[in-house]
Amino acid sequence: MRVDLVTLFPELFETFLRTSFVGRAMTGGQLEVRLRSPREFGLGRHKSVDDTPYGGGSGMVMRVDVLVACMEALDAEAAAEGKPRARRILLTPQGKPFAQPIASTLSTEPAIMLICGRYEGFDERVRSFVDEELSLGDFVMTGGEVAAMAVIEATVRLIPGVLGNLESTHEESHGEEGLLEYPQYTRPAEFRGVTVPEVLSSGNHAHVAAWRKQLSLERTQARRPDLLDRRETSPKSKP
C-alpha cells in the first residue's frame, strides 16, 4: 500500500513512520509513504501557500492552486513509475466521521493520499479535486497531521502481514461484530483483592467465548448504545 501525504510539516511524521508496526510495515515493504509539502509549489519569494479570505474575516486560507499542484505532482510521479493514482482524502472537520469500516475499506486500496490542512482551512474549490473527506471527530485541531497519523495507523494494521495475528482485529473494539471489546486479563490472578473471573481459567473454550460475547454486549450497551443501533441496521447483522 502507498500513502501520499500532503503536509506543510513533513518532519512531524519522521518518528511516527519509524516506530512500532508502522515502521515494520515500511521496512517490510507492505507500506510506502511519500511526503510532499505544498510549500514546494508556493508563490513568490516566500513560497506563499495561503492568502486572506475573500469577503474578509480572520486568519488565512490555503490556496487551491498550490494544493492542487502538490496533489497533481504526486500523481504524476506515480504515473511515471507505473503506479496507481492515489485515492485523494481531504482531512477536515466537515468530513465523514472516520470509523473502523472506513479503515477496513482503505486498507484494500493500493494507494491513498491524505491532504493535511493548516490555518483557517482550505479554499472551497479544493473539494472539487478530492475523492473523499474524512473527519477524526467533532473537534478542531490546528492541522491535519495528527488525523493523518490516526488514519494511517488504523488502516495499515489491517493490511495482511503487518500484524503478527490478523485474527486479533476481528474481536477487538469496533471489529467485525461492531461491539466494544470484552474485558482482558493477565497475570497476576489476584491484585489488591480483585481476581480474574474463574471462567477464563476453566479451560472450557465454549464457556469463555460465550462469556466474552455477553460482556461485549453489556459493555457496548452501557458505554456506546449507539453502536448497537448501528449494528441492528447494518446489512451484516441481518439474517
Distance CA 140, CA 146 (A): 11
Q: Is 134 helix (H, G, I), strand (E, B) or coil?
A: strand
Q: For the chain, where are the alpha helices, taking DSSP H only?
A: 20-28, 64-80, 100-106, 145-156, 168-171, 205-223, 225-233
Is the pLDDT reported for residue 90 higher than 90? yes
DSSP letter for 38, please.
Answer: G
Mean predicted lDDT score pLDDT of the chain: 93
Average pLDDT over residues 102-123: 96
**Strands 111-116, 2-6: pairing kind:** parallel
Decide if 115 contacts 144 (C-beta within 8 A): yes
- pLDDT score recorded for residue 168: 59
Residue 234 has pLDDT above 70, yes or no: no
Between 95 and 177, where is the model more confident?
95
What is the average per-residue pLDDT within 166-170? 60
Q: List pLDDT tens digits, range 192-223.
A: 999 999 999 999 999 999 999 999 999 999 99
Diameter of the chain by CA atoms? 72
Q: What is the pLDDT of residues 8-66, one digit of tens each?
A: 999 999 999 999 999 999 999 999 999 999 999 999 999 999 999 999 998 999 999 99
Report the binding-site residues: 117, 136-141
Backbone φ and ψ for 125, nearest 5 degrees, come out as -70, -15
Nearest to 89 by CA among 55, 110, 116, 60: 116
CA–centroid distance for 186 within its chain: 29
- Total-model pTM: 0.89
- Lowest mean pLDDT: which of 74-88, 92-106, 162-176, 217-231? 162-176
Please state, in angstroms and rounded to a whole number, the distance separating the CA atoms of residues 115 and 8: 10
Q: What is the per-residue pLDDT across 171-200, written as a single tens digit (0 to 9) for each?
A: 666 777 889 999 999 999 999 999 999 999
> Would you state the pLDDT for residue 126?
98
Which domains, ranges and CATH numbers included, belong to the chain? 2-156 (3.40.1280.10), 168-237 (1.10.1270.20)
Binding-site residues for S-adenosyl-L-methionine = 117, 136-141
Q: Give the cell for residue 219.
A: 459493555
Residue, of 204 and 238, whose pLDDT is higher: 204
**Residue labelled with grid coordinates 486572506:** 52
Q: Residue 155: what pLDDT?
A: 98
| pLDDT number for residue 239 | 42
Question: Which pLDDT value is given to residue 231?
Answer: 78
